Amino acid sequence: MANPTRRGVIAGASSLAALHASGAFAQGAMPSSPVMLNIIDVAGNLQLTQSSIEKFAKDNPKLISRLNFSRAPSPELPAKLKAQQDANRVDIDMVLTGPGAMSDGIQQGLWVDVWKSHTAALPKAEDTYHEQALMMQRNFGQNEGVAVVYSPSGPLFEYMPDKLKTVPKTAEEFLAYVKANPNRFTYARPLNSGPGWTFLQGMPYILGDSDPSDPMNGWAKTWAYLKELGTAIDYYPTGTAATMKELGDGTRDCIVSTLGWDINPRALGIVPKEAKVFTIANTHWIPDTQFMCIPKGVAAAKIPVILALMSHLLKPESQAATYDKGYFYPGPAIKGVTLAMAPQESQDVLKEFGRPEYDSLIASLPTRPPLTPERLVAAFRRWDQEIGVGHAPK
């Protein structure tokens, strides 16, 4: 996922003394001199957290000497990390990731199990996260990932109302629309796309599959439906940004979207403001959560600093900034953070580009956890082999 980097204004940050007082440094001694941190983002998360990370570094010069930020496609990261670990030369200190690299990393044993090994250095999850984010932390982040932002996500369909005149209400009607209008709809490869990820996992609920939690044995209707849908799709873009560009320039009339991917590209002018969204019958929210991870092999002296940074990013001031310009709407993963606490710019953008119907949709549609990491990896692999094959990007 890649949009232009955006930074909110963030009020306040914990001082070094306050962090000591809070017990954030309870496990692991602080380094004798400040350390350089290399942070890689494979989920677009820096748009929501970079200014908070920089504020923490500025306020704690005895901990951090320098920050190096980099970005990479999610599918590339696990292999890169594994190669570094095998060579005992890990140069990535902290990873900001969505479901793809998170799942692969857990399955391959790439991450430090921070919730077990450094329990006292992190806030208590039950006291910190709101109910939905806590569900994601337990079921998806497990012991390795620290949830930092949350969104009910999708699946949603986004469309141009001057092109799609009659909005489909069911999966059958949607399939009929796509086949009657070939190449006017697409979605991005699920492994590297939040909308693609939620669409893939949401279809078993929409279609009434036998076991939505089992992509290998319980998704017979979904795999058949996606194959049939693919007969009217020319190619699947490698990321969500490409689908938004194609909707904006008129190449597509309809794409798969999510709450944040609907709001933010319209706020940035990539997609026309008048674009609309719809859901179809039996839609369940498949929430998206982005996590902070520490790769195995990171220098021991850096780990207490990274844990302190993680704790800082779970404070209300940092969390309020994650409303941003709607990129991961709503954004906050912790309890008690409201839009009124967000920077004024965020409030203004969401007033103009948010949708009143989202509150009722969030309240009324059921929420189901995503697949476990192991099953998600299997679903991604099967999609690549059976659905994506023969539909290479242009």
Name the pLDDT band for 21 (thresholds 50, 70, 90).
Answer: very low
Query: How far apart (Å, rounded) are the C-alpha atoms in residues 34 and 24?
Result: 17
Could you give the CA distance from residue 380 to residue 373 in angstroms, rounded to a whole number?
10
Average pLDDT over residues 143-151: 96
Answer for the pair 14, 312: CB distance below 8 angstroms, yes or no.
yes
Average pLDDT (283-307) is 96
pLDDT band of residue 347 (cuts 50, 70, 90) is very high
Q: What angle do CA 353, 354, 357 make, to 5 degrees?
A: 135
CB 243 within 8 A of CB 237: yes
Amino acid 104: pLDDT: 86
Segment 183-191 shows an average pLDDT of 96
Q: What is the mean pLDDT of the chain?
A: 91
Cα angle 354, 244, 362 (rounded to 5 degrees) comes to: 35
- Cα-atom radius of gyration of the chain, to the nearest Å? 21
Q: Which of 384, 380, 388, 389 is nearest to 104 (CA)?
A: 380
Instruction: Return the number of other C-beta atoms located less than 10 Å from residue 171's C-beta.
Output: 20
Tokens of 218: 């319980």
Cα angle 243, 39, 114; round to 5: 105
Would you call 296 helix, strand, or coil by DSSP?
Answer: coil
**Comparison of pLDDT for 107 and 233, the residue scoring more:** 233
The yes-or-no verdict on residue 20 having pLDDT over 60 is no
- For 121-141, how does the pLDDT look when each residue is reduced to its tens digit (9 = 90+)? 999 999 999 999 999 998 888
Percent of the chain clearing pLDDT 90 (strictly above):
82
Per-residue model confidence (pLDDT) at position 160: 98
Given this model, what pLDDT does residue 115 score? 97
Closest by Cα among 185, 143, 187, 188 to 164: 185
